[in-house]
């Protein structure tokens, strides 16, 4: 037999993959369905907002709002029920997270595990800024900088030399 699935991977995982495909993709379904929508447009709007932040567990980076999967449908209905029961948005989200863990949050929560993740844009930007500043300082120190204060005459001459080629 060929390596359809990796040999070191137990066969049930392969079967799990198959069943996930069969159960969650094959069923004719539709992301947000008129039957499940709430009649109150404000509540429905909030439900949509919440659904867009929750991950469909069996899909790739799709929210339950976008997903056709069966479980996503159940979760959407659940969210609406929680809202009808008077939950706030956060309470409804917490209700789902309590059952499925942080994995369902498309927006990773800020906690010690994700400090590095959330800090990374700032750290990278600061590092980049330092590198750029360092580059210009080094350049200045090495004295490889062109004189900046030209007279108008000189600037015009420079324009003539430099700008015709565009770009």
Partner 1 sequence: MRFWIAVIPLVLFAALAGIFLTNIGKDQSVIPSALIGKPAPEFSLPPLPGRDKGISRADLTQGHVSVVNVFASWCVPCRAEHPMIKRLAAEAGVPVYGLNYKEKDPQDGVNWLDELGDPYTAVGMDISGRTGIDFGVYGVPETFIIDGDGKIAYKQVGPIDAETLENVLLPKIRELKKG
Partner 2 sequence: MIAETGHFALILLLMLGCCQAVIFSPLGVLFRRPSLSATSSPSLQMAGTAGTITADKTGWWRSFSQAAFRPFSSDNIAPAPTGPIWPLPLLICLLAIGAQGSLIYSFVISDFTLPLVTHYSHSSTPVFYRIAASISPDRGATLLWITLTSLATILVLLQNAIFKKSENAHAIVGVMGLIIALLAASVLIDGDPFARIGDPPLDGQGFDPQSQDILDIFYSPILHAGLAGLSIIFAATVAALPRARLNRAWAEMLRPWALLSWTLLGAAMMISAYRAYAEQSWGNWWYWDASENAVLLPWLLATAFLHCLAVLEKTEALKPWTALLALSTFGAGWFGTFLARSDLLGPLPESLRASGDNAVLLIGFCFLFAGAYYLFSRAAGHLRENADFTLVSRESGMFINSVLLAVAAAIVMIGTVYPLFLRWLGGTIITVGPPFFVQALMPVTLAMLLLMGLSPTLRWRVDGAASVGRRMKLALILSVIVTLFVWMRHIDAPPLPLLGIGLAAWVVTAALGDLWEKLWRHRDHGESKYRNIKMLGPRYIGMSLAHIGMALLIAGGSASSLWEEQAVLSARTGQSIEIGPYNLQYEGVSLLPGENFATRKAKFIIYRNAQPVSELYPEVRYYPIRGVETKESAIWHGRDGDLHVSIGDRAEDSGRIVDVRFLPMMPWVWAGMLLILLGGVINMLTRMILLFKKNGVSAP
| Span between the terminal Cα atoms of the chain, in Å | 59
Among partner 1, partner 2, none, what does residue 2 contact (CB within 5–8 Å per kind)?
A: partner 2
41 token code pair: 């447009």
Q: What is the DSSP letter of 152?
A: H
Question: Which burial class, exposed, middle or buried, applies to 31 when counting CB atoms under 10 A from its CB (0-12, 13-18, 19+)?
Answer: middle
Count helices and strands (H / E) in the chain. Answer: 6, 0
Question: Of the listed pieces 72-80, 87-95, 145-153, which binds partner 2 according to CB under 8 A?
Answer: 145-153
Q: State how far the alpha carbon of 90 is from the alpha carbons of 65, 72, 111, 145, in Å.
A: 17, 18, 16, 56
| Pair 71, 92: CB distance under 8 Å | no
Among 121, 141, 151, 153, binds partner 2 (CB under 8 A): 121
Taking the complex as a whole, the smallest distance from the CB of residue 101 to partner 2 amounts, in Å, to 6
Under rule CB under 8 A, residue 141 binds partner 2 = no
The whole-angstrom separation of Cα 70 and Cα 21 is 11
**Positions 53 through 92 that interact with partner 2 (CB under 8 A):** 53, 55, 60-63, 66, 68
Q: What is the smallest separation between the CB atom of 10 and partner 2, expressed in angstroms? A: 14
The entry of partner 2, partner 1, none that residue 78 binds, CB within 5 to 8 Å by partner kind: partner 1
Q: Judged by CB under 8 A, which of 74, 85, 124, 157 binds partner 2?
A: 124
Contact 64, 56 (CB under 8 A): yes
Q: Which is nearer to partner 2, 85 or 124 (CB)?
A: 124
Residues that bind partner 2 (CB under 8 A): 1-6, 17, 20-22, 25-26, 28-35, 37, 53, 55, 60-63, 66, 68, 101-109, 113-114, 116-118, 120-121, 124-125, 128, 131-132, 135-136, 139, 144-148, 150, 158-160, 162-167
């Amino acid at each position: 037999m060929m390596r359809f699935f990796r040999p070191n991977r137990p066969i049930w995982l392969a079967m799990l993959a198959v069943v996930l495909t069969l159960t969650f993709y094959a069923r004719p379904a539709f992301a947000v369905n008129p039957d499940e929508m709430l009649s109150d447009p404000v509540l429905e709007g909030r439900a949509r907002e919440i659904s867009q932040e929750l991950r469909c567990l069996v899909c790739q980076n799709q929210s339950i709002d976008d997903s056709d999967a069966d479980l996503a449908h159940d979760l959407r209905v659940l969210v609406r029920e929680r809202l009808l029961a008077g939950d706030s948005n956060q309470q409804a989200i917490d209700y789902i997270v309590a059952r499925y863990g942080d994995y369902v949050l498309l927006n990773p929560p800020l906690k010690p595990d994700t400090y590095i993740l959330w800090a990374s844009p700032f750290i990278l930007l600061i590092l980049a800024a330092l590198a750029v500043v360092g580059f210009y300082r080094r350049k200045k120190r090495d004295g490889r900088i062109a004189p900046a204060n030209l007279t108008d005459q000189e600037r015009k001459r420079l324009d003539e030399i430099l700008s015709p080629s565009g770009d």
